[in-house]
Chains A and B, each alone.
Chain A
Amino acid sequence: MNAIKITLSLCLLLAVGLSQAQAQGNLEVNTPAIAQLQNSMQSRYLQLAPLLGSGAVGLARDGTVQLRDPNAVPLAQRQAANSLVAAENADRSALYREIARANGKPEWEGEIRATFGQRWIDKAQSGWWVQDARGNWMRK
């Protein structure tokens, strides 16, 4: 990112791991709205973790989670998995937007999303599925 320097400290991947993003002037981004999103994501993590572990859900390059192998989820639970992924991605999109806004730079949203996408992947547990630079899925 050109104009800003963002440092991300991911405490607990997918659950809390949000961050301190600092722009030029010590901008604190841990706003109440971000805390609200963190709580929402954290409470969802227990349900999401088995899907990540089984490889049904993977970490995509664009900072979202994706149901990459629906066939790994029993049919009766596939609706719930879809719902979980959609809710997680709604939170993540809101989070990236919120961090950009909290920095006073809404136009940074795309870059923040990309940065987070890479960091989620870097911090993913061994055995989870992640997307490489060309969008191919690989097991970490």
Chain B
Amino acid sequence: MVIVISRPVSFPLNFLAFVAGCLLQTAAPAFAQGITLTLDAIEHPAFTARQIGLRLADLSGGSAELDIGQLTLAGREFKHVRLRCGELRMTSAILDCRHGALHARDGAALPLEFTYRTASRQLDLSFKDADMAVVSTLLPELAAYRPGGRFDAHVKASADSLELALQLHQFAFASADGKLAGDKIEASLTASAKRYDASWGWQTSMTWPESKSGEFYWAPLYRAGGARLAATGQFTPEAVTVNEATLMLDGIGSASGSLQWRRDTGSLNAATIETGSLDLAVAVPQLVQPFLDLRAGPKLSASGTGRVAAAWDAVGMRQLDLAFDGATLEAGTAFALQGINARIPWRREQATQAEFRATGGHFSRLALGAVDLPLAMHGLEFSLPHAEIPLLDGKLLFEDFHAAHVGDAWQWRLAGALHPISMPLLTAALGLPRMTGLLSASIPKISYANATLTLDGALVISAFDGYFSASGLQVIDPFGRLPRVRADIEARHLDLGMLTETFSFGDIRGYIDGDIQGLEMSGMRPLSFNASIRSSPGDYKKRISQRAVQNISSLGGAGAGAAIQRSFLRFFDTFGYDRLGLSCRLVNGICEMGGIEAAPQGYVIVKGGGIPALNVIGYNRRVNWNELVTRLQDVIAGNSKIEIR
């Protein structure tokens, strides 16, 4: 028997069951050989179906096959939908499909069973051990994620409610750009929704066990199980709202939040997040380090606990609260702070005050004392009127720190000073030869803008009974791969006795002045400069030891030693001198050397005076910089093999 309805008709959803019921009651004997029902279209508020063909083996119960050429459901269009039921039971009260399958265009099938009750208009739909890949053939927008694995699902739906229970087995997916992916995920999800006029209220929970439950990557974050999510919210034509969501990450802690997303503009309206106490030893490497790695940033490690709370509106982040309790933060071996207790309440449109305290730490090899930074904040402006950081037996003093985000870059400035620290302590901490005296410095103003750190005024460091002064100091790209330093440095009245004793250079009595003009360094290695040292003006004792003469000679290479007056010198430990000096102009790795005055085929490094008199002459005008540094290191290490004969 064949029934054909060739015009579009509007039916209630229980139309098929109704038709079937009528047929059963009135014409049952005629259908022993099966029935084919063809409809041009069915229109319903929830769906529209066109080119419908229904083939029934037996109306009293048996197999059935439904073909729909085009199905529009929830605003989505499906073509060539084929549903087979191994056993279909139809009455006026119920439509029941057992051992069914939903077939995709390529022939793959999703095994399913469903029951539709006409009185309550409720649909119970189950998928068991279904192939996730088949879903992507039915829902083409999922195909780009190449889903794999299997799933069990149970859906209970009516016009006003929806319930879903889903189990994922070996679930895998990957976005084309590789930024979102999962593999071998074993997880379960439940969700329910209830209709209130034009809106739906919903709630969901997801459990992803910790052990052997697959892995998930959301660039740049990675997680291998151990997560639970629960959320409630509303869905309206205008917005999607998450009233409250709670995420538990095993080993790290929990976070709760809310969200309001405008569907009409496709934009964020509001969001909040607040974590519980997080274990920083796990949270930093898992949640913070991946973002630093994207920018080739430093390697961080941490311990202690921390909390984060943040809120966004349509403009962007409007508040951020950070708290640390007994935390330690380390950036490799370069920097560390311990015992951090901090409360940082940042507000976009309010002035607030942060508290940041640490019990100590280290910068490179230098131990830092307790730190107290009362940072004032107002939007993207930060200021710190005064801070002190104990450093060895002195302290670093910061004044008038001010930072602001201007355009798309940060600018900051500060003034400061280094209150005297003893050189023996400093040199011991840095692993340098022991120096005596005190180190102190005045920093009139340091500013940072356009990726350049600039020192206004002069950085003055007292040392060796004289001082070093650096002016025009600039550090270009200080936080980059290869910081570049420019400066002019002058040194005045340095005690040669202290200097040569410190560096085991022999013994020279007197004072020197020095200048390094146009110093340019890249990656802390000098590229170019024009440097000279010379005896300081004034009347003072000037003596040089034989050992020092040897060492100076060795710096100039073998040629310098040849000019030393030989014969009787070996009988004297020290010699008088009138003045000494040496210059080096570094260009392209070559040091163009000179002395205090010209000599035949060379230059005078030490001009003798008194008795016995001694001149040291340099002959090598061009010396490879690396070679010179090696020689200097050899001299300091006492490995010089140059001999005076």
Partner-B contacts on A (CB < 8 A): 27-28, 30-33, 36-37, 67, 69-71, 73, 75-76, 78-79, 82-83, 86-87, 89-91, 93-94, 97-98, 101-102
B481 in contact with A90 (CB, 8 Å): yes
B222 in contact with A75 (CB, 8 Å): yes
A79 in contact with B588 (CB, 8 Å): no
Interface of B is mostly: mixed
Q: Which of A30, A76, A86, A98 contacts B522 (CB 8 A)?
A: A98
In chain B between 294 and 334, which residues have their CB closer than 8 angstroms to a CB of chain A?
294-296
A33 in contact with B523 (CB, 8 Å): yes
In chain B between 456 and 488, which residues have their CB closer than 8 angstroms to a CB of chain A?
480-482, 484
A82 in contact with B293 (CB, 8 Å): yes
Segment from B213-221, B352-360, B577-585 that makes contact with A: B213-221
Q: Give chain A residues whose Cβ lies under 8 Å from the Cβ of B183.
A: 75
> Residue B178 at the A interface, CB < 8 A?
yes
Number of residues in B with C-beta < 8 Å to the partner? Answer: 32
B523 in contact with A67 (CB, 8 Å): no
Q: Give chain A residues whose Cβ lies under 8 Å from the Cβ of B588.
A: 27-28
With contacts A75-B181, A86-B294, A97-B482 taken as known, whether A102 is within 8 angstroms of B525 at the C-beta atoms is no
Residue in chain B with minimal CB distance to A30: B589
Q: How far is the CA of A32 from the CA of B528 in the complex (A)?
A: 11
A76 in contact with B295 (CB, 8 Å): no
CB distance from A10 to the nearest CB of B (A): 20
CB distance from B444 to the nearest CB of A (A): 28
Q: Give chain B residues whose Cβ lies under 8 Å from the Cβ of A27.
A: 588
Q: Give chain A residues whose Cβ lies under 8 Å from the Cβ of B216.
A: 75
Q: Give chain B residues whose Cβ lies under 8 Å from the Cβ of A89.
A: 296
Q: How far is the CA of A69 from the CA of B183 in the complex (A)?
A: 16
Q: How far is the CA of A75 from the CA of B217 in the complex (A)?
A: 6
> Residue B527 at the A interface, CB < 8 A?
yes
CB distance from B102 to the nearest CB of A (A): 29
B174 in contact with A33 (CB, 8 Å): no
A82 in contact with B527 (CB, 8 Å): no
Q: Give chain A residues whose Cβ lies under 8 Å from the Cβ of B484.
A: 101
With contacts A79-B220, A101-B522 taken as known, whether A94 is within 8 angstroms of B178 at the C-beta atoms is no
B482 in contact with A86 (CB, 8 Å): no
13 residue pairs bridging A and B, Cβ less than 8 Å apart: A32-B589, A69-B178, A70-B179, A70-B219, A75-B181, A76-B224, A79-B217, A83-B293, A83-B296, A91-B481, A93-B481, A98-B522, A101-B522
Q: Which of A28, A78, A86, A93 contacts B178 (CB 8 A)?
A: A78
Q: Which of A28, A76, A101, A102 contacts B222 (CB 8 A)?
A: A76
B527 in contact with A102 (CB, 8 Å): yes
Extra 4 A-B pairs, beta carbons < 8 Å, given A69-B178, A83-B294: A37-B481, A79-B221, A87-B296, A94-B481
In chain B between 146 and 187, which residues have their CB closer than 8 angstroms to a CB of chain A?
174, 177-179, 181-183
Q: Give chain B residues whose Cβ lies under 8 Å from the Cβ of A78.
A: 178, 181, 217, 219-220, 222
